[in-house]
Amino acid sequence: MSESKSLSKAARVEFILHKLQSLYPNPPIPLHHKDAYTLLIAVLLSAQCTDERVNTVTPALFALADNPFDMAKVPVEKIQEIIRPCGLSPQKSKAISVLSQMLVDEHQGQVPADWDALERLPGVGHKTASVVMSQAFDVPAFAVDTHIHRLAQRWGLTNGKNVVQTEKDLKRLFPQDTWNALHLQIIYYGREFCSARGCDGTVCEICRTCYPTRKKPKIVLKP
């Protein structure tokens, strides 16, 4: 039996929703933060870096400055020294400094709950803006990173060659009121059961249920 004769896409969506909700009914945000600003900085730092490492770096950074008014006064070199373990420290330190000054100058020191304003900030792309809008302001959004992109392909939810198309496909398949939690639920499931090395599309429960006749590893298109 071929993959095409496995569960229908609607059945896969229903099973995935039910399974993830049962496993992670109230998924916490993995990046430690106390408000929209510290979340924004943590998400920016998480680019090409693990959440665990970010969480070891941000306490020292936020002890130095945990708001844009104070951060804008910190020399870029000092920021870079602290965040170096996160990688890309020259770019990230400059972005943190400049965006903090922009928040002071243009938004009274507040992180704006506005897509365009967020994405204008240096170092803040669509994915980072999506996380902030969903987790800080409870605006429906579906932040798609490379991990979610990988799982969505394994589960037959998209054949998109990039995260932009994957985001569109996931938003079309899942109810809007599930997006914010689902983003986190997929991340947690991927780490625990369907990691890049721990599952090839034939091992974890969701992969096996959605494609019970799949015999070969699922080749994932990298974004």
- Residue 88: what pLDDT? 96
Per-residue tens of pLDDT for the chain, all 223 residues: 345 567 899 999 999 999 999 999 999 999 999 999 999 999 999 999 999 999 999 999 999 999 999 999 999 999 999 999 999 999 999 999 999 999 999 999 999 999 999 999 999 999 999 999 999 999 999 999 988 999 999 999 999 889 999 999 999 999 999 999 999 999 999 999 999 999 999 999 999 999 999 999 998 887 7
| Calpha distance 175→93 (Å, rounded) | 37
Which residues are CB-contacts of 208 (< 8 A; sequence separation ≥ 6)?
A: 202, 214
Residues recognised as catalytic: 127, 145
CA diameter of the chain: 63
Question: Whole-model pTM?
Answer: 0.91
- Residue 2: what pLDDT? 46
Is there a contact between 181 and 27 (Cβ–Cβ < 8 Å)?
Answer: yes
User: Helices in the chain by DSSP H: which ranges?
Assistant: 9-23, 36-45, 51-64, 68-71, 76-83, 89-107, 115-120, 126-137, 146-154, 163-173, 179-192, 205-210
Within 10 angstroms of residue 1's Cβ, the number of other Cβ atoms is 10
Which residues are CB-contacts of 202 (< 8 A; sequence separation ≥ 6)?
A: 208, 211, 214, 215, 216, 217, 218
- Residue 160: what pLDDT? 82
